[in-house]
Amino acid sequence: MLRRLLPDRFTCALLGTVLLASMLPCRGVTAQAFGVLTDAAIALLFFLHGAKLSRASVLAGITHWRLHLTVLASTFVLFPLMGLLLRPLLSPLVTPGLYLGVLFLCALPSTVQSSIAFTSMARGNVSAAVCAASASSLLGIFITPLLVGVMMESHGGGELSWDAVGEIVLQLLVPFVAGQVTQRWIGGWVQRHRALVGVVDQGSILLVVYTAFSASVLQGLWKHTPLPVLGGLLVICGVLLALALLLTRYGSRALGFGKQDEITIVFCGSKKSLASGIPMAKVLFAGHPLGMIVLPIMLFHQIQLMVCAVLARQYARRDDAAAESMSHDASLDDAQAD
């Protein structure tokens, strides 16, 4: 249990990247070079995800439309409503810039890899999880910018430029579609080299984090973010995740879903994607202190991994206990029959 709660290597790398950017921020020509490298890495990442995503797996779960609508409603309706409705209560805990990052967090799509992994670990409906998480990630390219525009306007953060939406489509969707088109030729190779996708995935995030925090440090990020504010951000992320887990769990039961589907809804509907969020933030918030925008995503990402790891193991133990109980009852019935 303790090992599950300890930070993994990637989280340690994220913390190290933030520390490096705080001590040695890139600037000038170096910052421009890192920016170009980051854009290329993000495009490569979404190309590889497009080549890796199995259309057969998606089609296998796509008929379960009630589950997918529930996951999408949780991701793109429930979370934004929580961010807006809880703002009077939660926003005093942090600065306005950080709460803008919280609202952006609420508008993000679900994760893909960890949602599927936790659903599988908890013995949920894996094929539906593949479809739901993939649909959320793909639709988020269009929905997230629109939600951000609405929430920015209500938050007093300005209006969203349609050029930013077009840039997101160009940078994320076009490489993804290109990956899908070339899947028949390179899909098998990508599946055999999953580690490469992981390296590009984590590497692109680390590049964006370094450039974002470098710019924000030069603008005085840590001077405007004292420890009590970081503590307040931790509370906000914990509250949002706890509410999402509770509402998806009991909401799925109220809607009549079975246990396997409940697990899928809980783990796909309560997650937010760091891999999609940071590239989107780079485009959507080009004129804002980017470090404050991505800090809530980074913190929420680690909390959701630790909490969902524990929750998945609890679901799996309950499944094992139920199977053992059924086996014991069957043995008693056989003994009585004899």
C-alpha distances in Å from residue 280, one per residue of 140, 263, 314 = 10, 28, 34
Contact 118, 91 (CB under 8 A): no
State residue 110's pLDDT score. Answer: 92
Report all structural domains of the chain as residue ranges with CATH numbers, in order of start.
11-315 (1.20.1530.20)
Q: Return the structure tokens found at 128.
A: 């539906």
What one-character-per-residue DSSP string does 271-289 give? ---HHHHHHHHHHHTTTS-
> Residue 328: its pLDDT value, please?
46
Helix residue ranges per DSSP H, 156-226? 162-168, 174-181, 183-192, 194-218
Assess contact for 48 and 191: CB atoms under 8 A. no
Sequential DSSP letters for 47-58: HHHHHHS-HHHH
Based on the number of CB atoms within 10 Å of its own CB, is 192 exposed (0-12), middle (13-18) or buried (19 or more)?
Answer: exposed
Dihedral pair phi/psi, residue 161, rounded to 5°: -80, 135
Which pair of tokens denotes residue 22? 């705080």
Q: Closest Cα to residue 234, out of 303, 332, 306, 143?
A: 303
Judge residue 265's burial from the number of C-beta atoms within 10 Å of its C-beta, 0-12 exposed, 13-18 middle, 19 or more buried: buried
CA distance 241 to 305: 11
Identity of the amino acid at 207: L
Please report the DSSP string for 80-108 in residue order. HHHHHHTHHHHGGGS-HHHHHHHHHHHHS
Tell me the pLDDT of the chain (338 aa) as tens digits.
445 555 667 778 878 888 898 888 888 888 888 888 877 887 887 788 777 766 665 565 566 788 999 999 999 999 999 999 999 999 999 988 899 999 999 999 998 777 888 888 888 888 788 788 878 888 888 899 889 888 876 655 555 555 666 666 677 778 878 887 888 888 888 878 877 777 877 787 788 778 877 877 887 777 777 888 889 999 999 999 999 999 999 999 999 999 999 999 999 999 998 878 888 888 888 777 778 888 899 889 878 887 888 888 888 888 676 656 555 454 545 545 55
Q: What is the helix (H) or strand (E) element at residue 226, kind and residue range?
A: none
For residues 272 and 108, give the distance between their C-alpha atoms in angstroms, rounded to a whole number: 6
pTM of the model: 0.76
Q: Residue 236 has what pLDDT? A: 96
- Please name which of 46, 6, 74 lies closest in space to residue 278, comparing C-alpha atoms: 46
Structure tokens at 249: 């769990």
Residue position matching structure tokens 């590239």: 279
Own/partner pairs for 295-299, CB < 8 Å, 24+ apart? 295/98, 295/101, 295/225, 295/233, 296/98, 296/101, 296/102, 296/104, 296/105, 296/233, 296/236, 296/237, 297/101, 297/104, 297/105, 297/108, 297/272, 298/14, 298/18, 298/209, 298/274, 299/233, 299/234, 299/237
Q: What is the DSSP letter of 223?
A: T
Q: How far apart are CA 75 and CA 29, in angstroms?
A: 39
Q: Are 305 and 8 in contact (CB under 8 A)?
A: yes
The tokens describing 217, both together, are 């440090």
CA distances from 126 to 116, 131, 179, 264, 321 (A): 6, 9, 23, 7, 21
